[in-house]
Amino acid sequence: MATPPEPGGAPLLDSKSIFGLLAPILRPRESPAKEGHGEFPMYDSGLLARPDREDAAFHLSNRARAPFAPEGCGPHTGSPLTVPHPSAPPSGRARLLRSMPMISPTRALLIPIAVASGLTVLAIASLRTGAPSLPTDSMGQEPTKEATQDSVYPDFPTTPPPPTAVQGATAKTAAEMKAYDELITGTEAKFALVPIPGGTFTMGSPADEADRKDWEGPQVQVTVSPFWMSTTEVRWDEYRQFMDAIDKRNRSKGSIEAAPQDAWADAVSRPTPPYVPMDFDMGVDGYPAISMTHFAARQYTKWLSMKTGRFYRLPTEAEWEYACRAGTTGAFSCPTDEVDDHAWWFDNSDGQYQKTGTRKPNPFGLYDMHGNVAEWCLDALTKDGYKALVVPEGETPLVDPIQWPKSLYPRVARGGHWDDDPDRLRSASRRGSNESWKVQDPQFPKSIWYHTDAQWLGIRLVRPLNPPPFEQWGLYHDAKLASVKKIQDRQRTGDR
């Protein structure tokens, strides 16, 4: 099977494309920012969705579009898009459409005129040059140009960044590990981590567990080395420092002083500006960051590692499930009748994500391991489950296994989310990414930074007690697919 092309770069909203001509018509109308939404601009948007919870798909025009959720992410019928009665309460699944800009009738009438004008311009340009204006290669991307521009990012230093001084963050053995708060250098953002002791556990679900999927097995013994894990999902408070380059802006304004680690952190690629507010009108301060791609999540862990001088990354599937179970062996890390107390899910989330750390924690002191937002792991989702991790009887279990991705999709997210039912919140439940997670992305090629339709997808951080040498950090942080790397390299020179 051919590997799907990696998503693309920055929006094509410029004078060189048809989309540039359409931009004044399609651009959402800004509204005053709502309380609690930080610096995200707010946009008017129509709540266009079915009021019933059973429909997680939609159509645009007469052409069916892919459902928001992949297999197992909730039922979908593919019914046409409808507008609920004003009195109907918005369902959680309905909110997945809030990123769609509302276009006035007047603007709608101008669209065909703008399209025709754009096609005329492109046709004239084609006649003048004797070639199409936007030649593409087999992946639907513009041919790679020779690197004629200098990078807009500084070069990476060849030595590791110096670690910042944080009380409790240093340990040589598992016995010395303590909980600590990480303050991101040059910002006021901080987050808490707790030590997770190493051990051996049974990964996967038993064959008789209710709602079990085949790819949750076979059950296998796995050993996990000690690590720290963030007590909550990464919040906008931290992620926006990276995504919006707030740290660099504050430094340029003189409101904060430069730090030694800036030489490393400033060299990390940052997301292109989004076309809509990425909180999708659900809240910023104290809420989990969402909708980042696997690549964006890894780049955030790279930036954070450079900012702090400590090696952070996404958890492996084994680490995630070990931390989620926290010594338990049931479907959840709590009794089944207490899921409501530990998780934000469809019935109690009020149709959106909630502030992190507001439900009860699991036995390791980790919040929202069940529900609120799903969490990226390093691994690829394998349809044959954990067969590759099985060892012959009597042999030592694998230690810290990772099933490295070899293609863009599918990659693993764990824990379920605010719009899920309890079966998707189980400790062993797995979810695989696919292209339907960015249906609403208007860019072509699709962005390498945003999953516009995964408005329930976030990050949790891990810091191993014994990190790899600095030369190997890139294995966990950097793009591996050539198609992603090509777009990233273009963006690093200021191109799209």
- pLDDT score of 431 more than 70: yes
The Cα–Cα gap between 111 and 86 comes to: 28
Any domain includes 139: no
Number of domains in the chain: 1
Given 3-state DSSP classes, what are the helix, strand and coil percentages for the chain, each rounded to the nearest 5? 25, 15, 60
- What are 391-419's pLDDT values in tens digits? 999 999 999 999 999 999 999 999 999 99
CA nearest neighbour of 325 among 295, 364, 355: 364
- pLDDT score of 46 more than 50: no
The Cα–Cα gap between 252 and 257 comes to: 9
- Give the model's confidence band at 168: pLDDT under 50 very low, under 70 low, under 90 confident, else very high: very high
Domain containing 389 equals: 174-491
What percent of the chain shows pLDDT beyond 90? 65
- What are 90-143's pLDDT values in tens digits? 444 444 444 444 444 444 454 454 445 444 443 433 333 333 332 222 223 333
- Give the model's confidence band at 496: pLDDT under 50 very low, under 70 low, under 90 confident, else very high: confident
Give pLDDT, residue 149: 62
Any domain includes 48: no
Any domain includes 159: no
Give pLDDT, residue 340: 96
- pLDDT score of 319 more than 50: yes
Q: Which of 19-28, 259-268, 403-412 has the lowest mean pLDDT?
A: 19-28
Using a 10 angstrom Cβ sphere, with 0-12 exposed, 13-18 middle and 19 or more buried, the burial of residue 124 is: exposed
Sign of the CA dihedral 98, 101, 106, 109?
A: negative
Decide which of 438 and 32 is more confident. Answer: 438
pTM > 0.85: yes or no: no
Any domain includes 100: no
Any domain includes 50: no
Any domain includes 321: yes
Give pLDDT, residue 312: 98
Give pLDDT, residue 444: 82
Neighbour count for residue 311 (Cβ, 10 Å)? 23
Tokens 């408005």 belong to which residue? 455
Asked if omega into 392 is within 30° of 0 (cis), the reply is no
Neighbour count for residue 324 (Cβ, 10 Å)? 25
Output the average pLDDT for the chain. Answer: 78
Any domain includes 303: yes
Query: Any idea what the CATH number is for the domain that residue 240 is in?
Result: 3.90.1580.10
Give pLDDT, residue 38: 46
- pLDDT score of 4 more than 50: no
Give pLDDT, residue 455: 97
- What are 323-360's pLDDT values in tens digits? 999 999 999 999 999 999 999 999 999 999 999 999 99
Any domain includes 70: no
- What are 356-385's pLDDT values in tens digits? 999 999 999 999 999 999 999 999 999 899
Q: Amino acid identity, residue 336?
A: T
Using a 10 angstrom Cβ sphere, with 0-12 exposed, 13-18 middle and 19 or more buried, the burial of residue 103 is: middle
